[in-house]
Every structure is written in structure tokens, then in C-alpha cells.
Amino acid sequence: MPRPRRSGAPRLSVLRIGHRAGRDPRLTTHVALTARALGAERLYLNPPDAELAERVERVGRQWGGTFAVEGVEDWKAFVRQFEGTVVHLTMYGQPLEKLLPKLRTRSSILLVVGGAKVPPQLYGLATHNVAVGHQPHSEVAALAVTLTKLRGIPGPGPWPGATHVIVPRARGKAVRKLAGGGP
């Protein structure tokens, strides 16, 4: 896991469905990096994209943590077999604020974000259809808000296994290379 989970906090994974390898690599990479940085343990990717998975895992090798990307061929079967709460992030769902108390008590949550056109079956397969807002918005934004509400905002400092760490500054950029691969 990238950063320690609070005792009793749910295990969080993300499923990105409808990824188009030739057209969506930047957006799906942003979904993966957001999931990693804000407390998810893994990204399941449908359809699989080995190149994207390697790029994201390269980030993990440099910045630490144990975030993984796994391909999923059949997202419907995967959702049906998931042992936990399936939360589909959609602008058509119930307000996130209303469901947060219930979600915080779950042991395992799969957050599902779709692509350009979400298959209608997902609305019926999900345990909850949840909206961050009831206006059109990015799946990256919905994921970031939801993870922040469930996990909080991570503080500065290196993650286990990191070879680099960002040094917070009011102006400019600073990265420090770590000796020995982090804490």
C-alpha cells in the first residue's frame, strides 16, 4: 500500500473501464496517478494495457509505495465477483456526502470510473452509484474528491521504497534523491 491505512479504514481499489489504448493513455494515466497518490492500493484496467501499467509502475519505483496496475479482460465478471462494496462514480448517482458515513465503515471498496460511454449494465451491477456533483466533470476529478473524502490528503515525505522525494517549497521545485531507497 502506498501509505499507511488508518485502522478500520477501507481497502481501496479503482477499476477503469472503457480504456482505449490508442486514444486514452493520458487520461487513464491521470486516473492511475490520482488513485496511487490519494490512497488506492491498485488500479484494475479494462481492457488491459501493458505499456500504461509499466509507465505507472515506473513512477512507483521512483516515488515509492506498492501501487499496482492489473489488467481485467471482463469487467462485468470482475465486478460481480468483487468481494466488497462497488461504488460507481457517476454524475447521475446519489450525493457522495450522503453515502460517506456508510462507505467509511466498509472493509473493501472498488471505485469504478468509466470512459467516454459508460455501459448501462454498470448502474445495475454497482452497490452504489455515487455523484461528486450533478454536473458533467472528469472521472479524474470525481476519483480525487472521493479518495480525499475517504482518506484525507497525504502529507509530505517519502513513501517506503522511494528513491526520490519532493521538498515542499513556497516557490520553485525541489526534488531530493534519497540514499538507500527511502524510509
Domain contains 6: no
Summary mean pLDDT of the chain = 90
| Identity of the residue numbered 175 | V
In a domain, 164, yes or no: no
Total of domains in the chain: 1
Whether residue 146 is contained in a domain is answered as: yes
Q: What is the pLDDT of residues 79-126, one digit of tens each?
A: 999 999 999 999 999 999 999 999 999 999 999 998 777 889 999 999
CATH number, domain containing residue 42: 3.40.1280.10
Q: What is the CA radius of gyration of the chain?
A: 16
Residue 5 covered by a domain: no
Residue 2: pLDDT band by 50, 70, 90 thresholds? Answer: very low
Dihedral pair phi/psi, residue 2, rounded to 5°? -65, -45
pLDDT at 22: 63
Domain that holds residue 137: 11-155
- Residue 166 in any domain: the answer is no
Is 74 part of any domain? yes
User: How many residues appear in the chain?
Assistant: 183
For residue range 143-177, list pLDDT tens digits in order: 999 999 999 998 888 899 999 999 999 999 999 99
Distance CA 155, CA 134 (A): 30
Is 66 within a domain? yes
Q: What's the mean pLDDT in 7-26?
A: 80
- Reported for 70-76, long-range contacts at CB under 8 A and 24+ positions apart, including other chains, are 70/42, 70/43, 70/44, 70/45, 71/44, 71/45, 71/46, 71/47, 72/15, 72/44, 72/45, 72/46, 72/47, 72/48, 73/46, 73/47, 73/48, 74/46, 75/15, 75/17, 75/46, 76/121, 76/125
CA pair distance 14, 170, nearest whole angstrom: 32
